[in-house]
Amino acid sequence: MNNIYEALINKQAKLSVIGLGYVGLPIALEFSKHINVVGFDVKPERVAMMNNHIDPSNELDKSAFDGCNITFTSNADDLKQCNFFIVAVPTPIDEHKLPDLTPVIKASESVGKALKKGDYVVYESTVYPGCTEEDCVPILEKMSGLKFMQDFKVGFSPERINPGDKAHSLTQIKKITSGCDPEAAENIAKVYEIIIKAGVHRASAIKVAEAAKIIENTQRDINIALMNELSIIFDIMGINTYEVLEAAGTKWNFLKFSPGLVGGHCIGVDPYYLLHKAKQLGYHASMINSGRALNDSMGTRIADKVVKMIINAGKEITKSRVLIMGMTFKENVTDIRNSRIIDIINELKYFRVNCDVVDAYADHDEVMKEYGVDMSKEPTGKYDAIIVAVNHKPYMELTEDYFKGISAENGILVDVKGVMRGKIKDLTYWSL
């Protein structure tokens, strides 16, 4: 199919999105306002929810499904009617912090079985440079019996969706696109221009697009690691990190990053893909490794600080009670994947501290299944320390009187992100 763009626009061809999570579903819905779309997900229960105009990721409301020409399915055979495939499955890491390509491999197998001459496959899943052509294309060839470049074309267009961010929506974020040859690159760019109002950046090669995505999050990871290291130094000095950053931020070119827990399925994961590839090439990426190690240690550091503060207050640590407010990986989302709050919980449990955990958005059963944590519906009794770990909007509206009401004598308030600085007068206060 020489002009896949024209075929899609004229509805002579269909586009499919494989993986309907927080990335795939918005893409599928946006395209389905203009062309015919098949949305595929391996979980039938998720497909059932979407057929009822419910986003399983809780990012989109029912109105997002209005006016969409889309078929949701968990039957891979339905992909055979499509000619343009977008793979938007997760790319997690395993327990050894190595890339787990299982979802991408399985998606490639499903697409390969549906692939026909003239079809296009575009990957959006974050991977290391070279993965699309070296790992995915051979699977597509094997499953389809077709020849890459000769029979089908491939591209890479990294996702840039930020969960919980309503200002930077899919259509308003500039999109990087790439293709296996000039013709494919132009066709893929034109297809994305159907929905991307901010325009597209045509990368010169698939590896360039893959690398661009992975360094976006690696750069943020390293900058946050610097802030976390500074917070450790300034804490020893007895000065507030956020006051230092506020002062330094008055310079026009100072980069405004802040310390904190780095979790989720992007910043806390993607650098490991680059580290893996660098190691394969015989290079030890010392700065990226150091940043990852530092950021992964912050949950434990916060818990250790809380334990010391409780002991300094003259209390017996094994009889103390701590309330942790927030379990999701970031504020105002329901997503608990790779939440570093669990590091705080595990370290406190090591010291036999009694922990209660609450969250304004996280699902109790999901948290229990993922982390074995039995969340409480609401705080009960008095706590020796309260850790505001995630800045959910309802928590930001709470006053010091509220915290005093659930605090024991000599109560401690730990404000991880420092947003309550200057507002807490009576409780012992600490932030990163």
Q: Write out the catalytic residue numbers.
A: 266
First to last CA, the chain: 56
> Which element (helix H / strand E) includes 369?
helix 364-371
CB-CB contact of 135 with 277 (8 Å)? no
Q: What are phi and psi of 278, to 5 degrees?
A: -60, -40
Residue type, 418: G
How far apart are alpha carbons 309 and 304 in whole angstroms?
Answer: 9
Among 102, 109, 98, smallest CA distance to 143 is for: 109
Going by the DSSP 8-state scheme, the letter that residue 424 receives in this structure is: -
Signed CA dihedral, 123, 127, 133, 135: sign only: negative
Instruction: List 152's β-bridge partners, or say none.
Output: 148
Phi first, then psi: give them for residue 200, nearest 5 degrees.
-120, 150
Distance CA 155, CA 179 (A): 4
Q: Residue 387: helix, strand or coil by DSSP? A: strand
Q: How far is CA 199 from CA 130, 171, 196, in A?
A: 25, 9, 6
Q: For strands 15-18 and 407-415, give the pairing.
A: unpaired
Please name every residue paired with 428 in a beta bridge, in sequence order, or none if there are none: 412
Alpha helices in 162-248 (DSSP H): 182-192, 206-237, 241-248
- CB neighbour list of residue 281: distance below 8 Å, 6 or more residues apart: none
Tallying the residues shown for the chain, one arrives at 432
